[in-house]
Amino acid sequence: MHDTDFRVPSAIREMRMGYFKGGFVVCCNTYYNRIITLHLIYHAINPYRRYSELKSDEKAAVLERSFIFSGLDDEDLSALSGLCIDKSFIPGEFIFWDEDPPEWFYIIAEGQVKVVKHSSSGKEFIIAFFGIGEVFGEVAVFENNPYPASAQAVGEVRVIGIRRQDFSTFLASRPQVALRIINVLGGRLRNAQDRLRDFAGERVEQRLAGVLLMLSNKLGSTLPFTRQEIADMVGTTTETVIRLMSIFRERGVIRSTRGKIIIQDRKKLKLLREGPPEILH
């Protein structure tokens, strides 16, 4: 069991959570109670379920898939992989929480991770989504500021983590890695600015098309998300997403099954993203 299993965002911690004492969780928030109950049940019925630990060369292969570390030579990859630990998480489990101290950043070896922000009432807003080979948590680590949001496993997830202090020592003699990190952070900033622009100036159907395109670029044509999760990423209501996806389906852009969205026509989806959405009329 991980040391962050029972942490909650600080804004919710004081108002919504009780305490962890003597092996029992006292929790007055139904959403978090479900997460904790799921975790306890999962480990109760799977007490011996464990991934075998990744070998050093397997960790190096994960590192090499990430943009930040893809240019490292074998010697540097070997040195960095020696600093990594690997962890596994069950569906819905939190890897870190908003306002936790930034001791680690992570690279995804298997599965997907969503980054979420919670309002004071507990409502969840999805602000980013990461897949295999992508790095997350690094901004807080590099700035030495608390994590600005929470990271949660989407399905079963396996990551490798690097401790902030160890990575600082590694970087001291490798300025080329530091330059790549600057490039990545710049890209994240541009993406955030693009999303703000989208929210301010685009129609909701364009934002929906943009989110579906972004997810399909990462995951392929089959997207394992509910309408509620898509609505959280688009920044609109579930009812609006249901209405628009019904139109998308009628126009042959997508089809959907329980808990999944399947992209059928990327060309039409790109046209919707660019707007104006004449294809819907």
Q: Tell me: the pLDDT tens digits for 204-239?
A: 888 899 889 988 887 788 888 888 888 888 878 899
DSSP string for residues in 131-198? -TT-EESHHHHHHT---SSEEEEEEEEEEEEEEHHHHHHHHTT-HHHHHHHHHHHHHHHHHHHHHHHH
Same domain, 64 and 91: yes
The residue among 32 and 253 whose pLDDT is bigger is 253
Q: For residue range 189-208, list pLDDT tens digits in order.
A: 676 666 666 555 578 888 89
Range of the domain at 242: 203-280
Which residue among 194, 217, 247 closes a domain? 194
238 and 116 inside one domain: no
* CATH code where residue 207 lies: 1.10.10.10
Residue 162 lies in a domain: yes
pLDDT of residue 186: 74
Residue where a domain stops, chosen among 159, 194, 229: 194
Q: Sorting pLDDT into bands at 50, 70 and 90, what band is 14?
A: very low
Query: pLDDT of 69-127, one tens digit each?
Result: 887 888 889 999 999 999 999 999 999 999 999 999 999 999 999 998 877 767 777 87
Helix then strand then coil, % of the chain, to nearest 5: 45, 25, 30
Q: At which of 142, 163, 194 does a domain end?
A: 194
Together in a domain, 129 and 108: yes
pTM score, whole prediction:
0.65
- If one counts the domains in the chain, the total is 2
CATH number at residue 183: 2.60.120.10
Per-residue pLDDT tens over the stretch 46-56: 443 456 788 88
Mean pLDDT of 149-161: 93
